[in-house]
């Protein structure tokens, strides 16, 4: 039995416990009156927050453990089922950094070398991005797999 199989049952139990807490809070409000209403609501919300925090902590720990297992087995951590586009963030970040750095580099190249300097600067920027993108090209990946198999 997987831990995921027990999660819905345990959350149902917690929901039942939370319902009991709410009933107790409402009963206490009826007995104590509206003077204590804000304190009772704050207390109940604190219990709900603790339950949510505990649930989030368990999920984060589970995901970290799964990623550690993937890394221990020699894989790369990431989202399962993300397909071939799971490196999108890396590629997008690299492209954004390149464009941000292109602004001052273009200014330096344009001021010092004129149109030729600007052209050389942009050729360099394009070349760096092409080399970075080459890591994802199919023939490069096939070559890498062959080396790993040997």
- C-alpha distance from residue 33 to each of 19, 27, 40 (Å): 20, 10, 10
Q: Tokens 């995921």 — which residue?
A: 4
Q: What is the DSSP letter of 35?
A: G
**The pLDDT value given to residue 120:** 92
**The pLDDT value given to residue 81:** 44
Which has the closest alpha carbon to 27: 47, 11, 19, 50? 19
d(CA 70, CA 86): 15
**The pLDDT value given to residue 82:** 44
pLDDT in tens, the chain (150 residues): 444 444 455 555 567 887 888 888 888 888 888 888 888 888 888 888 888 878 888 888 888 888 888 878 876 555 444 444 556 677 778 888 888 888 888 888 888 888 999 999 999 989 888 887 777 666 655 666 666 666
> Residue 5 CA to chain centroid, in angstroms?
24
Q: Tokens 């970040």 — which residue?
A: 93
d(CA 22, CA 25): 5
């Amino acid at each position: 039995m997987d831990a995921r199989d027990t999660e819905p049952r345990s959350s149902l139990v917690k929901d039942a416990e939370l319902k009991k807490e709410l009933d107790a809070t409402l009963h206490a409000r009826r007995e104590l009156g509206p003077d204590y209403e804000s304190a009772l609501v704050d207390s109940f919300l604190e219990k709900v927050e603790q339950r949510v925090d505990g649930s989030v902590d368990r999920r984060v720990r589970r995901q970290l453990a799964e990623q550690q297992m993937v890394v221990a087995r020699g894989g790369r951590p990431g989202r399962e089922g993300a397909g071939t586009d799971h490196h999108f963030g890396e590629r997008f970040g690299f492209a954004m950094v390149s464009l941000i750095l292109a602004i001052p580099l273009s200014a330096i190249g344009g001021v010092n070398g004129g149109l030729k300097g600007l052209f050389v600067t942009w050729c360099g920027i394009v070349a760096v991005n092409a080399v970075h993108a080459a890591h994802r090209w199919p023939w490069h990946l096939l070559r890498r797999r062959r080396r790993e198999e040997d």
